[in-house]
């Protein structure tokens, strides 16, 4: 399939315009692209989170494909059951094709609460794609920190004041945890680089067995930026090497975008209110830059 915008605009854009996502939210961009590049309508399994809340306010639904809601912790387990049931129905001649199952969860439902069911489903080898829309916090329940939240970020559970300067811990490297399971395809992507994201979605959908995408989707109220800056915020995360774009296919690492030259991470920090307290602390910004550089060096060492 052609990946140019003209062709994509002719395909179904999936999620209905009536969803309730915040202005400046990155999640609808991801979902619309997923449904545009999927060769056949998938069955979507959706963990509790922002996407579920804004797209299925009873009695309405913004989904034009089969969609199943489940709890925070069991999106991958539910997808396993749907995939197994579809195969059984196909074997008995009850359905004409086995649909692709796509499980979608936020970072709270993936990095934290749902990690056990994701690990189990991958280990069992179910044929499904898991997409983590990563907005780096529990955004729909009040902007609490998750294990995807970067160090120094202000959240409602890591406040800034006399007794705190934001989150103390670095974020968990979930993509590498999934890679360690031996999946045939895993990747990191961003809604700012739509062509790169579309190709990775296509590869993940076409690869048999469990596949995984970790997609950066900025959150306007949680990150505190003007809604019109959505794509720019996501782009700066890539251009500063904060969020590397790469894929791992059959164990081989490949960068899919290399910033030349990379921007200092301060260019990304200063566009968001959640990091405002760091900007008058040069040592804190230097520590953040050193953390980003160390992560980049660790990743690029795997390319050799």
Interval 195-231: pLDDT, tens: 999 999 999 999 999 999 999 999 999 999 999 999 9
The reported pLDDT for the residue numbered 12 is 66
The pLDDT confidence band at residue 172, using thresholds 50, 70 and 90, is: very high
Query: Residues, the chain, total?
Result: 304
Give the Cα separation of 117 and 73 in Å (integer): 7
Give the alpha-carbon dihedral of 279, 284, 289, 295, to 10 degrees: -130
Tokens 């999934």: give the residue. 178
pLDDT above 90 (res 13): no
> Looking at residue 255, what is its pLDDT?
98
What tens digit of pLDDT does each residue of 226-273 get? 999 999 999 999 999 999 999 999 999 999 999 999 999 999 999 999
Write the DSSP symbol of residue 273: G
Residue written as tokens 């002719």?
10
Bridge partner residues of 130 (DSSP): 103, 212
Pick the closest to residue 274 from 98, 149, 142, 182 (CA basis): 149
27-75 pLDDT, tens digit per residue, is: 999 999 999 999 999 999 999 999 999 999 889 999 999 999 999 999 9
pLDDT reported for residue 4: 79
């Amino acid at each position: 399939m052609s990946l140019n915008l003209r062709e994509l605009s002719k395909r179904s854009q999936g999620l209905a315009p009536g969803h309730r996502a915040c202005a400046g939210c990155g999640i609808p961009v991801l979902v619309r692209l997923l449904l545009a590049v999927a060769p056949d309508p998938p069955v979507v399994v959706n963990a509790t989170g922002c996407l579920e809340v804004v797209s299925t306010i009873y009695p309405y639904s913004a989904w034009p494909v089969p969609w199943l809601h489940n709890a925070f912790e069991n999106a991958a387990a539910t997808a396993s059951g749907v995939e197994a049931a579809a195969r059984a129905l196909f074997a008995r001649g009850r359905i004409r094709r086995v649909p692709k199952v796509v499980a979608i969860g936020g970072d709270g439902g993936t990095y934290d609460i749902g990690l056990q069911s994701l690990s189990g489903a991958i280990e069992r080898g179910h044929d499904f794609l898991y997409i983590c829309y990563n907005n780096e916090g529990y955004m729909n329940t009040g902007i609490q920190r998750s294990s995807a939240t970067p160090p120094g970020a202000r959240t409602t559970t890591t406040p800034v004041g006399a007794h705190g300067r934001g989150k103390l811990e670095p974020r968990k490297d979930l993509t590498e945890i999934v890679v360690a399971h031996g999946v045939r395809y895993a990747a990191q992507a961003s809604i700012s680089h739509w062509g790169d994201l579309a190709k990775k979605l296509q590869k993940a959908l076409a690869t048999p067995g469990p596949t995984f995408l970790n997609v950066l989707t900025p959150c306007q109220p949680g990150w505190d930026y003007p809604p019109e800056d959505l794509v720019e915020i996501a782009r700066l995360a890539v251009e500063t090497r904060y969020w590397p774009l790469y894929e791992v296919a059959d164990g081989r690492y490949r960068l899919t975008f290399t910033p030349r030259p990379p921007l200092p991470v301060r260019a990304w920090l200063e566009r968001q209110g959640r990091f405002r307290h760091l900007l008058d602390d040069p040592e804190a910004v230097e520590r953040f830059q050193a953390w980003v550089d160390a992560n980049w060096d660790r990743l690029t060492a795997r390319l050799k």
